[in-house]
Amino acid sequence: MDSDSKLKPEDLDRISKRMRQQTVLREGAGRAKVTVHMGTCGIAAGARKVMSCLLGLIDEQSVQDVILTTSGCAGLCSREPMMTVELRGHAPVKYVDLDEGKTKKIFNEHVVGGTIVADYALGMGSERVS
Amino acid sequence: MEDISLHLLDVAENALLAGAGRIEIRIYEDRREDILKIEIEDDGRGMDEQAVSRALDPFYTTKPEKRVGLGLALFAQAARETEGSIKIDTEPGGGTTVRAAFRLSHPDIKPMGDLLATMATLACAHPHVQFVLDHRRDSGVVYRWDSESSARGKNNGL
């Protein structure tokens, strides 16, 4: 059973090394944080493709100040894949029903450019877990 | 889930929520014996007897305060669909090892999928957790990747 990957094993080394170097960002100094919701619902709906797309964009554009991370289910399984974009000093924005095209647009316009892509946004704010 | 690599991502995400600092995924394909063995070992909180007895029940969770998925239950279902099996070794504070077996030639076995994308997702989102992927086929190593070795520039066994 072969693993059908576009990545090469050496890409894993590069990704891993780069993310470790972001320790300072993860301690609060990052300009932007992107959280891909990676519950069972998100994974089944395609969250890993969204994550891979973001990784590719960060790589291509040599973006240094964006933290990419995952979280569990956001509680809105029917709207997965979802991600939350949080620019420092701004409220988090949740995006829903993602695919690669939407992810690219959101990354370029919101994460890099600072302008919310209202067409794909569910709203502002974080889910609460009680 | 479309493929096995997505199940592994889901199980690993659950292990991370259980506080794992190290997760090792071992895959062994034995074509002569017609079996695919997968082990996922973590050093997270582990489970007590009651939790283990219900771990494969999709209506049970050890983490009621968090929204977590059905990782183990669906993984077990995928194994059983191929006349395979699943076993969980765990104890409170002692981590968890999930051992699954799949019949390789079974028509309902899912494709392996993109294992490297699964590892990239985990390594990217959790850079301070150690991830190990060890994929073997018959007597050969398909690849072995260790995020700790990677950080030290010593991943030359790929």
What is the structure's pLDDT at B59?
Answer: 72
Helix B4-17 and helix B71-80, axial crossing angle in degrees, nearest 10: 150
**Cβ–Cβ below 8 Å for A3 and B116:** yes
Nearest to A4 among B6, B68, B113 (CB): B113
**Cβ–Cβ below 8 Å for B104 and A43:** no
How many angstroms away from the CA of A98 is the closest CA of chain B? 17
**Cβ–Cβ below 8 Å for A68 and B124:** yes
When mean pLDDT is compared across A1-15, A38-52, B20-34, B144-158, the lowest value belongs to B144-158
Is residue B38 exposed (0-12), middle (13-18) or buried (19+ Cβ within 10 Å)? buried
Q: Which residues of chain A make contact with B69, given a CB cutoff of 8 A? A: 39-41, 43, 72-73
CA B11/CA B2 separation, integer angstroms = 15
What is the structure's pLDDT at B3?
Answer: 94
**Cβ–Cβ below 8 Å for B127 and A68:** no
Residue B8, pLDDT > 90, answer yes
Task: Compare all CA atoms of chain A with the CA of B36 and give the residue at the minimum distance.
Answer: A1
Q: What is the mean pLDDT of residues B69-84?
A: 90
Please count the residues of chain A: 130
What is the structure's pLDDT at B50?
Answer: 82
How many angstroms away from the CA of A20 is the closest CA of chain B? 5
Q: Percent of chain B having pLDDT more than 90?
A: 68
What is the structure's pLDDT at B30?
Answer: 97
Please count the residues of chain B: 158
How many angstroms away from the CA of A54 is the closest CA of chain B? 10
Q: List A residues 76-115 in contact with B (Cβ-Cβ < 8 A).
A: none
Helix count (H) and strand count (E) of chain B? 5, 6
What is the structure's pLDDT at B149?
Answer: 81
Give the three-class secondary structure for A32: strand
- ipTM score of the complex? 0.84
Residue B39, pLDDT > 90, answer yes
Residue of B109, B121, B149, B156 to mutate when probing chain A, most A C-beta within 10 A: B121
**Cβ–Cβ below 8 Å for B13 and A38:** yes
What is the structure's pLDDT at A123?
Answer: 83
What is the structure's pLDDT at B152?
Answer: 66
Is residue A101 exposed (0-12), middle (13-18) or buried (19+ Cβ within 10 Å)? exposed
Give me chain B's average pLDDT, please: 88
Q: Which residues of chain A make contact with B145, given a CB cutoff of 8 A? A: 9, 12-13
Q: What is the mean pLDDT of residues B41-54?
A: 88
How many angstroms away from the CA of A94 is the closest CA of chain B? 17
User: Quick one: CA torsion of B4, B110, A42, B116, rounded to 10 degrees?
Assistant: 40
Predicted model pTM: 0.87
Q: Tens of pLDDT along B86-141?
A: 999 999 999 999 999 999 999 999 999 999 999 999 998 898 899 999 999 999 99
Is residue B117 exposed (0-12), middle (13-18) or buried (19+ Cβ within 10 Å)? buried
Helix (H), strand (E), coil (C) string for A6-18: CCCHHHHHHHHHH
Residue-wise pLDDT tens for chain A (130 aa)? 766 677 777 888 877 777 766 655 555 567 899 999 999 999 999 999 999 999 999 988 988 888 899 988 888 889 999 999 999 889 999 999 999 999 999 999 999 999 999 999 998 776 554 4
When mean pLDDT is compared across A109-123, B60-74, B142-156, the lowest value belongs to B60-74
**Cβ–Cβ below 8 Å for A39 and B69:** yes
Nearest to A73 among B69, B74, B121 (CB): B69
